[in-house]
Amino acid sequence: MPQFPRSAIGNLAELEEGQIALSGFVVQHDKGLYVRLSRLESATAFADFVNRVIATGLYFRGLDYPQFLALLFDNPIGSRDDAGKEVFLAADITSFRPERQALYKACRITPGEAAYLFEPLYCEAQSDPELLDQGDHPARSAKGQQRFETRIFLDIDEFIAAAWAKGVRFGIDVAAVREGIELEKPELRVVARDRPYVPGKDAEIVELAPGLHRNNAPRRLLGDRVDLCQFETRYPQVAAGLRLIKKNPAPGRRGRA
């Protein structure tokens, strides 16, 4: 496979077969594709775009996987401190050719994790050159074989796309996958893990100042009368710099699989 496959991004007005038009929140610069957060209209907009890319037979080349997960699961809709903020997504979108797709098996999914059986792959030296992804790997012959064969290497970006298509959409261990691709003998390795949820509770206000207690009850006057315009205790005179209260945020966390 060439070092930089041909881009599959097309113009909506002249879209060719095998090409895709970018969603309105994805912008293309010289260094790659960026997501403009202010243009995301819903919490599912980015996931819908990813589904469209994979379903078209494409994949993200040079993907920033941590940022990819953040866009999918960390609610970028609510983080618009900078209306013009753009975050890097990937270098490009390119074709995931059927010959390459066939190299990737399904993960073995068990509660809490997914494993993949890595094994060396070979093809005849005269095979389609776009099937190969040699990079810095020299061609080599398969042990025990008389004819010369060339080692085929998987690709991390293709792996992420193939895993997505097969249902693994969170928590891929990129380092473990890269190591698995280099293995010289078959080995089953865990390549993705769920993020367990953390039980939560409501946020709360905690009083810090000693001897002071906030009481919002109406102030009681002489003769068992009540003044509805005053509170019983609203932190009267205190020394400068004394911390009165703090807010403990909700500690829960959503699980991801």
* pLDDT for 207: 77
Rounded mean pLDDT, 86-96? 96
**Comparing 252 with 73, which gets the higher pLDDT?**
73
Say yes or no to pLDDT of 146 above 60. Answer: no
Q: Can you say whether the dihedral through the CA atoms of 16, 4, 88, 48 is positive or negative? A: positive
Say yes or no to pLDDT of 199 above 80. Answer: no
Judged on CB neighbours under 10 Å (0-12, 13-18, 19+), 213 is exposed
Say yes or no to pLDDT of 253 above 90. Answer: no
pLDDT in tens, 16-57: 888 999 999 999 999 999 999 988 888 899 999 999 999 999
Reported as a pLDDT band with limits 50, 70 and 90, residue 206 is confident
Rounded mean pLDDT, 8-20? 88
* 193: Cβ contacts below 8 Å, ≥ 6 apart: 112, 113, 114, 171, 173
Say yes or no to pLDDT of 80 above 60. Answer: no
pTM, two decimals, is 0.73
User: In 3-state terms, what secondary structure has residue 257?
Assistant: coil
Locate the DSSP E strands across 66-172. Answer: 86-90, 92-95, 108-110, 113-118, 121-124, 149-152
Say yes or no to pLDDT of 150 above 80. Answer: yes
